[in-house]
């Protein structure tokens, strides 16, 4: 979270040719425009529940593989569906967000040519991993966000498939292009190319997949986000990075996260930007299937905006993070910026054969104690080198 089509993968194409958020929360409900109808997510416990939901639907928007569907229905039918024993839940299809800009920004961005090592990449010892050949090559990291700039020179060599659940608005080359900045910034931290220009990411050769679930304003429905998570799982990708959320949970996204983890995906999410606060980690970070990430400053303090709570498992650099944006580079702050540091490190572990459970355990067990409380940083600060079994004593 920030203070500030299914297509052919470029990388797959090369192989085929022989080269191998100031506040979190719900911002209203996504309702249909005609009369007393509303869009809802329905989870069912039996096929009879599915049939009942479909029979009440004015329109079926989406069906999931994990026994849920999104429908447009008369409000008067909701209570009857909720009373059925074969229906697990009926929830209005609300929205979650990437948070709007607030503080720590570079003021319009730049087109920096010479490559920089951002302080956060250095602080988590990702450059130590690079020097030892740990670049994440072979791993698939999905940025579940506002999209990724499809022709950014610091990302294009690592870009894989894209999928838009919310299409980019404007004259973009791809429906999954980033029309907001947020997703591209996260992508750069997770996996910008080591190519002598711009910045370098935690994982410099992992394949980055754009899963666009948030629109130009950084908003996306529960159903769209859940569909994005389901899509990542169905592709068999290794990591799903979610720098998005809200202060209240949604059952359909909770189901989607469980589905993805059961399929082997490692899920990581930003804890939220509600700080200073106590016990205020947002969703989906608060789900037990997801690793929640808090944010730190360059002096190893807790970022003032970082949400805290018992769900926080790890911390990573999130204040004043320099990374890619469409057309250039900029400095953003937020737990949104901390999250992709962890996603990039997870990609390195996945490339070495670690399962999602092993990744989660290894990242936590090798985190560096920087003196913050457990509800602020969980096990401590991300140490990418240590997670890979490398010496990170230069700290």
Tell me which of 336, 354, 377, 383 is the catalytic residue.
Answer: 336
Burial zone of 393 (CB within 10 Å; 0-12 exposed, 13-18 middle, 19+ buried): exposed
Distance of alpha carbon 32 from alpha carbon 38, whole angstroms? 5
182 is catalytic: yes
Q: Residue 224 CA to chain centroid, in angstroms?
A: 13
3-state DSSP assignment of residue 361: helix
Distance of alpha carbon 22 from alpha carbon 393, whole angstroms? 36
319 is catalytic: no
Q: Is the distance from CB of 140 to CB of 348 less than 8 angstroms?
A: no
Of 154, 188, 180, the closest CA to residue 344 belongs to 188
Give me the residue label for tokens 């939901």: 53
Distance of alpha carbon 259 from alpha carbon 265, whole angstroms? 9
Tell me which of 152, 182, 185, 341 is the catalytic residue.
Answer: 182
3-state DSSP assignment of residue 110: strand
Distance of alpha carbon 265 from alpha carbon 248, whole angstroms? 23
The number of beta carbons lying within 10 Å of the beta carbon of residue 216 is 15
- For residue 150 the two structure tokens come to 């499809």
- For residue 359 the two structure tokens come to 């990744």
Q: Is the distance from CB of 71 to CB of 53 less than 8 angstroms?
A: yes
Tell me which of 125, 140, 145, 149 is the catalytic residue.
Answer: 145
In the chain, the DSSP E strands lie at: 37-44, 57-63, 68-74, 87-92, 95-97, 140-145, 159-164, 207-212, 219-221, 239-242, 266-270, 291-296, 312-317, 321-325, 328-332
341 is catalytic: no
Q: Which residue numbers are catalytic? A: 145, 182, 336
């Amino acid at each position: 979270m920030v203070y500030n089509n299914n297509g052919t993968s470029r990388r797959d194409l090369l192989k085929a040719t022989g080269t191998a958020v100031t506040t979190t929360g719900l911002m209203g409900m996504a309702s249909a425009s005609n009369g007393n109808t509303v869009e809802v997510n329905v989870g069912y416990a039996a096929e009879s529940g599915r049939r009942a939901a479909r029979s009440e639907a004015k329109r079926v928007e989406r069906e999931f593989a994990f026994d849920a569907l999104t429908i447009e229905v008369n409000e008067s039918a909701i209570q009857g569906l909720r009373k059925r024993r074969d229906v697990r839940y009926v929830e209005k299809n609300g929205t979650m967000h990437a948070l709007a800009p607030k503080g720590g920004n570079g003021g319009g961005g730049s087109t920096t040519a010479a490559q920089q090592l951002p302080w956060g990449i250095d602080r988590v010892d990702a450059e130590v991993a690079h020097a030892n050949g740990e670049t994440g090559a072979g791993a698939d990291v999905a940025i579940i966000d506002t999209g990724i700039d499809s022709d950014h020179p610091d990302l294009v060599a690592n870009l894989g498939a894209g999928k838009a659940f919310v299409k980019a608005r404007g004259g973009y080359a791809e429906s999954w292009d980033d029309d907001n900045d947020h997703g591209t910034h996260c992508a750069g931290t997770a996996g910008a190319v080591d190519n002598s220009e711009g910045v370098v990411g935690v994982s410099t050769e992992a394949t980055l997949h754009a899963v666009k679930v948030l629109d130009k304003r950084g908003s996306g429905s529960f159903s769209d986000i859940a569909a994005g998570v389901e899509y990542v799982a169905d592709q068999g990708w290794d990591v799903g990075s979610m720098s998005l959320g809200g202060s209240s949970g949604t059952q359909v996204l909770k189901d989607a996260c469980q589905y993805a983890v059961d399929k082997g995906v490692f899920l990581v999410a930003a804890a939220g930007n509600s700080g200073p606060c106590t016990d205020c980690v947002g969703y989906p970070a608060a789900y037990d299937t997801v690793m929640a990430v808090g944010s730190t400053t360059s002096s190893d303090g807790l970022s003032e905006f970082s949400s805290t709570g018992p769900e926080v498992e790890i911390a990573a650099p999130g204040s004043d993070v320099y990374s890619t944006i469409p057309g250039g580079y900029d400095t953003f702050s937020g737990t949104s910026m901390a999250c992709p540091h962890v996603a990039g490190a997870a990609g390195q572990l996945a490339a070495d054969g670690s399962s999602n459970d092993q990744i989660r355990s290894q990242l936590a067990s090798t985190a560096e104690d920087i003196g913050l409380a457990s509800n602020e940083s969980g096990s401590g600060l991300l140490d990418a080198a240590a997670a890979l079994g490398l010496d990170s004593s230069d700290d």
